[in-house]
Chains A and B, each alone.
Chain A
C-alpha cells in the first residue's frame, strides 16, 4: 500500500533527520573501517618492512661477500695472496676516510692490481685516483681506468684532467712523473669532498649499507648455526623451517636493534664501545703494514717477515716492469718518428720526380731553344734522387725550377714586357711545383737568372710607360715628380734593341759557371725605373 501523508502519529520520537542519520552512520562505519584497515595495514607494513629489511640485509651481505671473495681470488691469482688481508683493510680504511663505497673500491683495486702486480703501487695509484676523481669531477671507476691505462702507456684518458700539457708533452713523461703531476694538482681533493654535504650524505649511506651487510652476515651466521650447526649447506636442507626462522629472527633483530640503539646512546659517554673498537683494531694491527708514525710495534713474526720479503720482491718486479714498459713506449715513439721522417722524404722525392715530367721538359726546351745549361742541374738532381738524398734533391729541384722559369720569362716576354697566355700557363705550372716543394720544407730559390729575367721584363714595361717620359738622362725628375705626366716636353724617342735570348744565355752561363767554381753570385738588380740595364 502506498504511503500517505494522511496519518495521525502517536508517540512521536525525534530520531534525527534520516539523511543525517545515514551520513552519521556511514561516517562512523567508514571511520571504523579505516581504523581497522589502518591498524591492519600498519601491522602488515611493519612486518613487511622488517621482512624487506631482512631481505635487503641478506642481499647486501651476499653481494659484499661475493665482491670481497672475487677480489681475494684476483689477488691470489696474481701471486699476491699474502696481501689479501691488507687489500681488504686498505679498502675499508678508504671507505671510512673518503666515504667511497667498498662496492666501488673493490673492482677498482682489482683493476689496479691486475695492471701493476703490486699492492704498494696499487695503493699509491688508488689514492691518486681518488683525489683526481674528486678534483676533476669524474667517477672513481673512470679515474682508475684512466690511470691504469696510463700505467701501460695509453695516455688518452688523461686529457680530461686538464694537466696543462699537450698530448705530445704527456707522451714524453714517464708514468711516475704523470702521477706526481696528478698528485700535485689534485692533492687533498678527496678529503675535502668528504667534508661537503654530499660527502656526509654518502658517508651516511655507506654506514647504512654496512649496517645492512653486518646484519645480513649475522642472519646468515645465525641461520647456519641454528639449522646446520654452522654449515650453511646443511641449513639449506631445511629451507621451509628456515623461512619461518628468518621471519622470527628479523622480528627479534628489529627489537634488538632498537634496544641496541638505546643502549649505545646510554653508554656512548662511558666509552665501552670505544674500548671494544680499540681492542678490535689492536688485533688487526699485525695485518697492516708497519707504519713508524703509528706508534705500534712492528710485527716481527716469521710470517710477517716473509710477507715483507714477498712484498718487496713484488714491488721490485713492478718497478722493473714499469721500466720495461717505459722503454717499450720510448722505442715505439722513436719508430713512429722514423716512419714519419721516411714518409716525408718519400713525399719530397716523389715531388722532385715530377721535375722529370717529359712533357714539361720538352715544352721548356722548346721555349728556351737550348737545353745544355739546365742539363747540368738536371743531371745533378737525377743523381741525388737516385742516391735517395732528398734534401739535396729538393734544393736542386728548386734551383732548376728557378732557372727554367727565368729562361721561359726571358724567351717569352714581348717588347712591351708582357707574356703570352701559353707562356703564363707554363710558368704557372713551374711555380706550382716550386710551391709544392716549399710546403714540404724546401724553400724556393730565386736564381740570378730569374732575377735578371724579371728585371728585364720590368724594363721593357717601364720603357713604354708615359709616366716616366719626364725624366732627364740621369733619371732625375723634370718639372715635377715621377708620377706627374709631362705634357710640356717633347718626347725623345729612344730605341733599345736587346736580343733576349743572348742576354738570358749570357747571364745564365755566367751564373752557372760562377756557382760551379764555388763562388757566390752577387748581383745588384737594375732599377727598373732607370730605363736601362
Chain B
C-alpha cells in the first residue's frame, strides 16, 4: 500500500471496452508477477505438521482441522480490482489467504506472542480474552510450534520512520511478501503503467 495509483480502475474499464486484448495482456502479466509469491507462500505450509490439539475438528466445528492441501489451495491471487474496503481503498491486484486453518497458521501469536493469559477463576468460558485451557502454557506451546514451522514476519516493508502495525505480520503470504522485498509490488505497478502507455499509444492520446 506504499504506492497509490490513480485511475487504475478507469484504465481497466477503458481497456476492457476499447482494447480487450490489452486488458487480457495486463491480467496475464500481473498474474505472472504474482504467481511466484503465491507459490512461495504455499511453500511455507508444512505437510507433516501435527501440533498438539490440532489433529482434528473441535466438537463445535469452530476450530478447523489442519489440512495442508486445503490451506495451500486457499492461498491465491487476483488480478481484477477489488471492491473498496472500509477505508475507501481499492486494489488493482491482491494476494489472499482465505481458509480458516490458513488464517490460524498465518496469524497465531502476532497479538500475544506468548499466548493468552490463563483465565482467572470464575471467568466465563465465553470470554475470549483469556485462555481457558487447563494448561497455562498451552498458547505459548502452540505458537512456539508454529514459529518452528514458519517464523512470523512483518509484511509491511515500506521504508522510513513510523510504527508498523501487526496487521501485516504473518507466516505465509505476509512472510512471502516480506521476503520478496517489494519487487512484486513494483512489477505489478510497472505492468499497469505499461498497459496504460500502450493504451494511450493505441488511442493516440
A interface residues (Cβ-Cβ under 8 A, vs B): 1-2, 4-18, 20-21
| Set B34, B89, B189: member contacting A15, Cβ < 8 A | B89
A contact face: mostly helix, strand, loop, or mixed: mixed
- Among B52-60, B123-131, B142-150, B166-174, the one that faces the other chain is B166-174
- Counting from the closest, the 5 A-B pairs by CB-CB distance are A11-B92, A9-B91, A7-B96, A6-B97, A17-B88
> How far is B73's CA from A1's CA once the two chains are assembled, in angstroms?
12
| Set A1, A6, A11, A12: member contacting B173, Cβ < 8 A | A6
Q: A9-B1, A13-B91 are in contact. List 13 more A-B contacts (CB 8 A).
A: A4-B98, A6-B107, A8-B94, A8-B96, A8-B174, A9-B82, A10-B92, A12-B1, A12-B5, A12-B91, A15-B9, A15-B89, A17-B87
| Set B30, B94, B106, B184: member contacting A9, Cβ < 8 A | B94
B 141-170 to A, binary, CB cutoff 8 A, 1 in contact else 0: 000000000000001000000000001101
B 28-51 to A, binary, CB cutoff 8 A, 1 in contact else 0: 001000100000000000000000
Let me know if B86 is at the binding interface, CB within 8 A.
yes
Across the interface, do B188 and A8 meet the contact criterion of CB distance under 8 Å? no
Q: Which of A13, A14, A16, A21 lies at the interface centre, i.e. has the most chain B CB atoms within 10 A of its CB?
A: A13
> How far is B87's CA from A21's CA once the two chains are assembled, in angstroms?
12
Q: Give the nearest-CB partner of B33 in chain A.
A: A10
The count of chain B contact residues (Cβ–Cβ below 8 Å) is 43
> How far is B1's CA from A10's CA once the two chains are assembled, in angstroms?
6
Across the interface, do B91 and A16 meet the contact criterion of CB distance under 8 Å? no
> How far is B4's CA from A15's CA once the two chains are assembled, in angstroms?
11
Tell me the total A-B contact number using a CB cutoff of 8 A.
Answer: 97
Contacts of B97 in A (CB 8 A): 4, 6-7
Q: Give the nearest-CB partner of A18 in chain B.
A: B84
- Within 83-130 of B, Cβ neighbours of A (below 8 Å) are at 83-84, 86-98, 102-103, 106-107
Contacts of B5 in A (CB 8 A): 11-13
- Closest chain-B Cβ to A6's Cβ sits at a distance in Å of 4
Across the interface, do A10 and B188 meet the contact criterion of CB distance under 8 Å? yes
Let me know if B185 is at the binding interface, CB within 8 A.
yes
Q: Give the nearest-CB partner of B81 in chain A.
A: A13
Across the interface, do B88 and A10 meet the contact criterion of CB distance under 8 Å? no
Across the interface, do A11 and B167 meet the contact criterion of CB distance under 8 Å? no
Across the interface, do B3 and A12 meet the contact criterion of CB distance under 8 Å? yes
Across the interface, do A7 and B94 meet the contact criterion of CB distance under 8 Å? yes
Contacts of A1 in B (CB 8 A): 98
Q: Which of A11, A12, A14, A20 lies at the interface centre, i.e. has the most chain B CB atoms within 10 A of its CB?
A: A11
Q: Give the nearest-CB partner of A5 in chain B.
A: B167
Across the interface, do B93 and A10 meet the contact criterion of CB distance under 8 Å? yes
Interchain residue pairs with CB less than 8 A apart (7): A6-B170, A6-B173, A7-B96, A9-B89, A10-B92, A10-B94, A13-B91
Contacts of A12 in B (CB 8 A): 1, 3-5, 89-92
> How far is B83's CA from A2's CA once the two chains are assembled, in angstroms?
14
Contacts of A10 in B (CB 8 A): 30, 34, 91-95, 184-185, 188-189
Across the interface, do B90 and A13 meet the contact criterion of CB distance under 8 Å? yes
Let me know if B177 is at the binding interface, CB within 8 A.
yes
| Set A2, A9, A11: member contacting B98, Cβ < 8 A | A2
Across the interface, do B4 and A13 meet the contact criterion of CB distance under 8 Å? yes
Across the interface, do B84 and A16 meet the contact criterion of CB distance under 8 Å? yes
Q: Give the nearest-CB partner of B174 in chain A.
A: A8
Q: Give the nearest-CB partner of A17 in chain B.
A: B88
Q: Take A9-B1, A11-B8 as given contacts and tell me if A18 and B91 are in contact as well, using a CB distance cutoff of 8 Å.
A: no
Contacts of B82 in A (CB 8 A): 9
Contacts of B83 in A (CB 8 A): 18
> How far is B170's CA from A1's CA once the two chains are assembled, in angstroms?
21
Let me know if B192 is at the binding interface, CB within 8 A.
yes
Let me know if B6 is at the binding interface, CB within 8 A.
yes
